[in-house]
Amino acid sequence: MRAALAGDSLAYKRLLTALTPFLRRICLKACARSGMPTGDVEDAVQETLLALHLKRHTWDETQALTPWLAAIARNKMIDAARRRGRQAETDIADFEDVLAAPGDADAFERELDRRDALRLLDQLSAKQREAIEAVSIRGESPRDAARTLGVSEGALRVSVHRGLKSLADLYRKATER
């Protein structure tokens, strides 16, 4: 990288060629963690290489190159996930035996489900629980909920996101028993 920054185009070409497998591994791991399709890996690798090219002058030569590059790749994967959105692809035909038709659940089962949900909500921090109740249960807009709770809209969104993630983990642990 130092030679490339000094203007050695052959060294720059060798650097990009050598870094590509490293970037591909980082992006594959990020895809696996986030549930993104592995088809997005090559796009992320190319975007990371482009970002490296455009921002190479910001690299501090006294620091290691790979952590700097890994941070760029991680940010590009986050950008790709945001652009893509949460799109879990599951064939519903696989679940038709276990999915109840609307109206099939009786009042007793609904009450048990409600109690289970409340029990899981009670395990969250007060901040996360209040944010989720305001936005996800009462249906308040993030702006109104943030104002009601006395926090910024960004802080509210973070609390909702972290709370939902915690709820998913709690639910997963409860159903594994």
- Dump pLDDT digits (tens) for 4-49: 889 889 998 999 999 999 999 988 888 888 777 777 788 888 999 9
Segments making up each domain of the chain, as ranges: 2-84, 118-177
| For residue 96, pLDDT beyond 80 | no
Q: Is the distance from CB of 159 to CB of 128 less than 8 angstroms?
A: yes
Please give the mean pLDDT across all residues of the chain: 83
Percent of the chain with pLDDT strictly greater than 70? 84
Rounded Cα distance, 130 and 121, in Å: 9
| CATH number of the 118-177 domain | 1.10.10.10
Q: How confident is the model at residue 99 (pLDDT cuts 50, 70, 90)?
A: low
Residue at token pair 């960004």: 154
Q: How many CA atoms lie within 13 A of 23 on its CB side?
A: 28
**CB half-sphere exposure, 47, CA atoms < 13 A:** 16
pLDDT digits (tens, 9 = 90+) for 118-151: 888 889 999 999 998 898 888 899 899 999 999 9
Task: Name residue, tokens 């996930």.
Answer: 81
Is 2-84 in CATH node 1.10.1740.10? yes
pLDDT of residue 112: 65
